[in-house]
Amino acid sequence: MSETMLKISKLNVSYGAIHAVRDVSLEINKGEIVTLIGANGAGKSSVIRSIMGLVKAQAEEMTYKGVNILGKPAEAHVKLGISLSPEGRRILPQLTVEENLALGAYIRDDEKGIAEDLEYVYSLFPRLKERHKQKGSTLSGGEQQMLAVGRALMSRPELLMLDEPSLGLAPILVDEVFAIIREINAQGRTILLVEQNAFAALKAAHRAYVLEVGAVNLSGTGAELLNNPKVRAAYLGG
């Protein structure tokens, strides 16, 4: 029996009169890659941001490892072991690669462990090591995405959430980013992935949820949804 890491029941998020997320329920088990797919504006980012405590939400239940996290600030989530690589990367362009990565470890004071994790991030992303003294603004889009993921890993999360990691990347870089996502998962981290590239996301995911207009429309294994005619027609070009 898999251990449930994150459990959400009837999550709702509104922005004024706009009801962006409607009664979304989902579970993530330890060791899984779970993906949320859907069209632009389907509510995917609102779900992930509410889990991180970045937007106000209502829910019957939102627990992480049995602890209620609903309404808690983002810093409390990081201390519990949740980390987010946000949509749009949000790196600090005036800081160096290494300074950006150090920010990811801001809640930690174990210098030896931070140094080990820095080397771990550099082993995943050798290009970041080559450019460790360069400012974030000098990096390519793909390198900035690697930096955003690396920064999220520096808090040593058990649950890593990735919001649109392939957005704006060339196809060859998309393949590289997803290979690294699978490697991070194989090394023991649980991953929640929000992604518009449905084909890449479903290929990587153990399980998936399809969001339409803020509500879960379908769920199943990645393979099941890859072969689902409705999913194929809507997101995979038939």
What digits encode the pLDDT tens for the residues 150-202?
999 999 999 999 999 888 888 888 888 899 999 999 999 999 999 988 999 99
User: Are 42 and 67 in contact, with CB atoms under 8 Å apart?
Assistant: no
| pLDDT confidence of residue 167 | 83
Q: Are 89 and 148 in contact (CB under 8 A)?
A: yes
Q: Is the model's pLDDT at 99 over the cut of 70?
A: yes
Rounded average pLDDT over 29-46:
93
Number of domains in the chain: 1
Over the chain, what is the mean pLDDT? 91
Domain, as residue range, for 174: 4-235
Any idea what the CATH number is for the domain that residue 49 is in?
A: 3.40.50.300
Helix, strand, coil % over all residues of the chain, rounded to 5: 40, 25, 35
Predicted confidence (pLDDT) per residue in 201-213, tens digit: 999 999 999 999 9
pLDDT of residue 136: 85
